[in-house]
Structure 1
C-alpha cells in the first residue's frame, strides 16, 4: 500500500529532537522514511550490564520522568546497559522501528540535557540502526522487549565524540547517561463506546486486530470510528504517522495488508490514498481508529485502474504510535 526538553513536545518538535540523536552531531541526518534498515556494522544487541551502568540509581514508574542519580564524570569503555524494568513484549531487533521515551544526561556534568516521551508526551520513533543514530543510543535499547526501562552509560566515542553537541549542551568528549522506556507498539488509549453498524474489532493478546465485517452493503461515504482514544498530539495533514494496521476488503473480508507480522510502518499522510489520510488527520497519538474507505477515496472505482483494489471498499484498523511533521523529515 502507498500508504523522530519538554515532555509535552509537539509532533514537529519530536522530529527535530530525534534528528539531534542521529550519528551526525549537527543533526542534519534525515529521519529514515522506512522501517526496514540495512544491517549495521555494530551489533545493536551487544551491550551488557556493567559496573558503570549498575552504579546509576533510577527510580520512578515506566513512562514517568525518572529520578536519576549518578556521580559526575561517569563513563565506560563501551556502552553498558542495565534493565530497570523488564518488559514482556516483542524485542526491538535490527530493522525494526522502536517507539521510545527517553531522558538523557551529560555523564560528565550530571546535567539533564534532553527528555522526550515521558509523562504522556509524544514518543520518538527510532529505527534500530547504528549506522544512522548514535551507536550508544541504539545499543541502549537494541533487542530489548517492549515494556522495558533500561539505563545506560555511553562513552563519548559512542555518543557525540570529540565534536559534542552544542544544541544539547554536550561538550566535546562528554559521556552520556540514558534512561530509555521501550514503549508498546500498540495503541494505549482509552476504550471508546462501540458504534453499532460498524465492523466489529477484537484484539489478540498482543494487540493484533481481527475485523468482523457485517453482511450488509458497504457505506457510500468515509466512516471513521475511534476505538481507543489516545492523549497525544493530533496528527496534521502533513505528518508522517508511525502505525500498526490491518487492512481488509469489505467485499469478502480478505486481508490485503498488515504490519503486525513485520513491524511498525510509517506513512506520510500526504502520500496515501485520500480516505486513509482523512481518517487519520486530527486523530491523536495513542489512538486506535477504524476507517472504512469507499472506492472513490481509495483506489478508484472498478475499471478505473489496474490496481487490484480498484472498486473495493477498504476497512482499516490503525494503531497510531507516534508521528513526525514532514518539514522535519
Structure 2
C-alpha cells in the first residue's frame, strides 16, 4: 500500500530526514545544566535559544529538563501539539535545524509515530506553555543510520522545545448525517466508532470536476488554507470499480497531519478548505487536480482519486 503523505506533503524534519539548519553560532562556553548543555542565550519561552556544546559523556537514557513550566493542560498520547524547536547534536555548538527562523511552528500528534521516539516520550506529560530541553540517545533518535548529512550515525541529540498548544483528537467525525443521493458518486459509510468507513465506488464514469461533499457535517470552525488539520482517511482510485484502496490511516492506527500550505495535491487541499472541523467529507479529485498524466508510486496515470476523510481537528 502506498503512503499518501509521501506523495502529498513536503517532508518534514522529524518524519524522515533532517534538513540543514541555520548557521547560527553557538556559545563557546561548554557549561552544562542538569546534565544537558546549557542554554546560553534566548532562555525565555518564545525566544530563539542557543545551546552550549555538550561536555563529557552524553546521557544513555532519555533526559528531560523543564526550563520553564507553563500553566496549560498536560499533554497526553494522541494529542495534536504545536511546538517551536531547536535541535543540535551533543558534540556540536551549531543547530542542525530550528523552526524559529522559519516562523512556522511544527505540528505533530503525540504517540502516532510521526516523529522520533525521543520526541514522543519527552513531550508527553508536559504542560502547554512549557519550555523543555530534551537529551535523546541514539536508540530514541536516528540510531546507527543517522540522518545524513546533518545527523551522524549514533548521534545523541539535544532539543529545546516550546509547547505552544495541544488539542485532544476525537476518534471520529460527529455531527449531522447528510443524504448521499447522487448514485453516480461513491457512497461513504457514516459510522462514528473510530473504524474506517466503507467506500463503495459506482460503476459509472468519474466526475470531471472536483467533488467535495459532506457525509457527516460537524459543528467546528471552517478550515482555512493556512491551517494544519489532523485527519483520518481512506484513499482509493476510482478505477477499477468498485475502487482500489491505496492508502488508509486506519490501517496504520495513526492519524495524519496535513499542513495545508504544504499540501501539493490540489484536489485534496481544495476539498478540505472551507469544510467544518468534525466533519466527514467525500472528496473526488479528477486527474487534473490529482497526479495528472504521471504515474505515482503505483497509482496509474490519469487516475481519479477518491477520499473519505474525517477532519478531526485543526491547529
TM-score (norm 1): 0.48
**Which structure's relative contact order is higher, taking Cα pairs within 8 Å and 6+ residues apart?**
1
